[in-house]
A and B are shown apart, each in its own frame.
Chain A
């Protein structure tokens, strides 16, 4: 089954404690992306990756890092989480940037930073 998986699905942590949210897709997609969804703000792009070893900032990259060492995985790293990073995070992938309409989203990770 074609899918995007994220782990963990729920996480409560404390300020400053480094964490990683994993994202994996099994569709051999080149394009992967991370979004956060906040009430009243909709979906905002954090980082995206056009292919292996190619990443770029989205609209709200501050406080986040990503890596794309292999095609299927695109982890989101919070080196020193802060309460304003409490949010719902979605990973997404598509065959290419041009195939934005077939962008598959993961189920989401609800992060709370105390």
Chain B
């Protein structure tokens, strides 16, 4: 049973517009959420995170929103740039356990 779901396998956005990547989770014990970015032929790199005690975290063009009641988080990229084209993984951290659980990823394409 998938505990972290990224239901959109791909997303295409025009340069300069907003990219919104969505992630849903099922386990209410998750207390920390992360987004990773992955380019082809490279390992994932950490992008931004949010603790369950917050509902928003911002870092430059990247903002993550957390809606705990809906068990939903989203990553906003504004403005989107062609260099943002990558696969984005949502991940959840259950705190007391050892597993960081990843979603399947969403491939973002930002067109010039």
Contact = CB atoms under 8 A, between A and B. Distances in A.
A92 B36 CA distance: 13
Given A59-B99, A97-B98, A105 B43 contact: yes
Contact of A43 (B9, B32, B44): B44
B8 interface: no
Contacts of A41: 104
Given A41-B104, A100-B32, A100-B93, A90 B43 contact: yes
Interface string B13-40: 0000000000000000000101000000
Interface in B73-100: 89, 91, 93, 98-100
Given A100-B32, A105-B44, A42 B103 contact: yes
A108 B102 contact: no
Contacts of B34: 100-101
Contacts of B41: 107-108
A33 B93 CA distance: 14
A54 to B, nearest CB: 10
B30 to A, nearest CB: 12
Interface residues of B, number: 22
Interface of A: 4, 33, 35, 40-45, 48, 50, 56, 58-59, 90, 92, 97, 100-108
Nearest to A49: B98
A90 B102 contact: no
A92 B45 CA distance: 10
Question: Which 5 pairs between the two chains have the least Cβ-Cβ distance?
Answer: A105-B43, A42-B104, A43-B102, A101-B49, A42-B105
Given A102-B46, A105-B45, A108-B41, 12 more contacts: A35-B102, A41-B104, A42-B6, A42-B103, A42-B104, A43-B44, A43-B91, A45-B101, A58-B99, A101-B32, A107-B42, A108-B43
A92 B93 CA distance: 15
A101 B98 CA distance: 14
A4 B44 CA distance: 12
